[in-house]
A and B are shown apart, each in its own frame.
Chain A
Amino acid sequence: MTETKKEPGMAQLVIVLLVISAVVALLLGIVNMITEPAIRANEKAKNDAAMAAVLPADSYTPVEYTGSDTTINAVYQAGDAGYVFQVSPSGSFSGTLTIMVGVDSAGTVTGVEIVKTAETSGLGANASKPAFRDQFVGQSGTLAVAKDGGSIDALTGATITSRAVTSGVNSALAAAAELG
């Protein structure tokens, strides 16, 4: 390898990289400023839509959850209709699974929505289909998938995801019983 005549010095290397990084950082800052409100609004809209779908109410008041179940992210009181639980059950197939579960004051499930999922497309991702979710409506007590002797029909090829959703619903039911 032959040495070139104008071998750039260390200072030049540092300055070029520094300037490029600074310009990129500035650009990212600007884009973040523009997109952040929209991203926040999207997340909120999704959360609100999920809450409205599982247990319709005029207003949702956040309730502090003091129980021992660490899979419960948030609890909202849906007027006097009952509670809405945001649960991230352990044992999902991939990534974090977050579901919204509505439980009425009588302790029965009013609806289940998948808020966030990284389950396999075409298999576990089918958990968001109504045919699966509607099985939980009107159920109470402790649930299990049919394979484990319960009444919930697991998704084809996605028993693990089905079990995770079921355990999330169970967490919500148990927490609702605690809250009364």
Chain B
Amino acid sequence: MNVKKQLMDGLIHQNPVTVQLLGMCSVLAITTTLFNGIGMGMSVLVILTCANIVIALLRKIIPSKIRIACYIVVIAGFVTVVDLILKAFLPALSESLGLFIPLIVVNCIILGRAESFASKNGIAASALDGIFQGLGYTIVLIIMCVIREFLGNGTFGGGILNGGEGVRILPEGIPALGMILPVGGFLTLAVVIAVMQHFLSRPKKSEQKEEVAK
């Protein structure tokens, strides 16, 4: 029951990107091809889960005065590990994401979940929180990637399908290049958040009505 609530929180009700509005920088910057989105999402998921587990494990040892410093050391450690592993075994992804992997250290999602969840909950719950929040982040990244890649480049699955070129849907010349540039990131993110908020606010009303009816 609790797991289900955590899952729904991570994916929808407390989605890190569209509801908590955390980690915007990476969301805007790297969502240009599907490959980037999946790679970044998975990297954050792994780091978030590992950091959550360790912080939940140490939550009674870490004095509250220096908790932020301790969190950052743990998070930076995991980020560097992931960065090195990607460089060694997935160089194409590492190159494509560039600076944004080291920048996960300061991604608010991870510090935010450490502070608001892992420091107050057990190891299992924190691990699940990491996975679900990471999934919520990844799903938004993938949605943004698909929209921006389609409108800006006219392709689907860039970096993975069709030898990295992506499957061309729109002929060349038609796509609006601006959608790949930062301006397209802001526009797409705004639309995604607006749509998400629209659907989030509706069921609440119907629930209230049901309660009134009862």
Q: Which of A27, A31, A34, A156 is packed against the most chain B CB atoms within 10 Å?
A: A31
B177 touches A157 (CB 8 A): yes
Residues of B60-89 at the interface with A, using a CB-CB cut-off of 8 Å, are 61-63, 65-66, 69-70, 73-74, 76-77, 80-81, 84-85, 87-89
| In the complex, B112 has a CB within 8 A of chain A | no
| In the complex, B8 has a CB within 8 A of chain A | no
B49 to A: closest C-beta gap in Å? 16
Stretch at the interface among A12-20, A52-60, A73-81, A164-172: A12-20
Contact A31/B84 with A13-B66, A118-B98 known, Cβ cut-off 8 Å: yes
Contact A8/B84 with A24-B73, A38-B89 known, Cβ cut-off 8 Å: no
Residues of A62-103 at the interface with B, using a CB-CB cut-off of 8 Å, are 95
| In the complex, A21 has a CB within 8 A of chain B | yes
Mark interface residues in A147-174 (1 if CB within 8 Å of B CB, else 0): 0000000001100000000000000000
Extra pairs beyond A16-B61, A36-B88, A38-B89 (10, CB < 8 Å): A13-B65, A16-B66, A16-B70, A28-B80, A34-B88, A35-B87, A39-B84, A42-B87, A121-B96, A122-B180
Q: Which residue of B lies closest to A158 (CB)?
A: B177
Taking CB atoms, residues of chain B closer than 8 Å to A121 are 32-33, 36, 96, 180
B79 to A: closest C-beta gap in Å? 10
Q: How far is the CA of A10 from the CA of B33 in the complex (A)?
A: 49
Q: How far is the CA of A157 from the CA of B177 in the complex (A)?
A: 8
Main SS at interface, chain B: helix
Q: Which residue of B lies closest to A27 (CB)?
A: B77
A27 touches B81 (CB 8 A): yes
Q: How far is the CA of A86 from the CA of B128 in the complex (A)?
A: 48
Of the candidates A17, A39, A118, which one forms a contact with B88 in the assembled complex, judged by CB atoms under 8 Å apart?
A: A39
Q: How far is the CA of A81 from the CA of B87 in the complex (A)?
A: 33
A123 touches B77 (CB 8 A): no
| In the complex, B181 has a CB within 8 A of chain A | yes
11 example contacts (A-B, Cβ-Cβ < 8 A) are as follows: A16-B63, A17-B69, A17-B70, A24-B73, A24-B74, A28-B81, A31-B81, A38-B89, A123-B177, A123-B181, A157-B177
A17 touches B66 (CB 8 A): yes
Residues on B lying within 8 angstroms of A by beta carbon are 32-33, 36, 58, 61-63, 65-66, 69-70, 73-74, 76-77, 80-81, 84-85, 87-89, 91, 95-96, 98, 152-153, 177, 180-181
Residues on A lying within 8 angstroms of B by beta carbon are 8, 12-13, 16-17, 20-21, 24, 27-28, 31-32, 34-36, 38-39, 42, 46, 95, 116, 118, 120-123, 156-157
A8 to B: closest C-beta gap in Å? 4
Taking CB atoms, residues of chain A closer than 8 Å to B81 are 27-28, 31
B60 to A: closest C-beta gap in Å? 11
Taking CB atoms, residues of chain A closer than 8 Å to B153 are 122
Q: How far is the CA of A20 from the CA of B76 in the complex (A)?
A: 12
A24 touches B63 (CB 8 A): no
Taking CB atoms, residues of chain B closer than 8 Å to A13 are 63, 65-66
The 4 closest A-B pairs by CB, nearest first: A24-B77, A38-B88, A122-B180, A35-B88
A53 to B: closest C-beta gap in Å? 16
B62 touches A32 (CB 8 A): no
A28 touches B65 (CB 8 A): no
A122 touches B84 (CB 8 A): no
Q: How far is the CA of A157 from the CA of B183 in the complex (A)?
A: 15
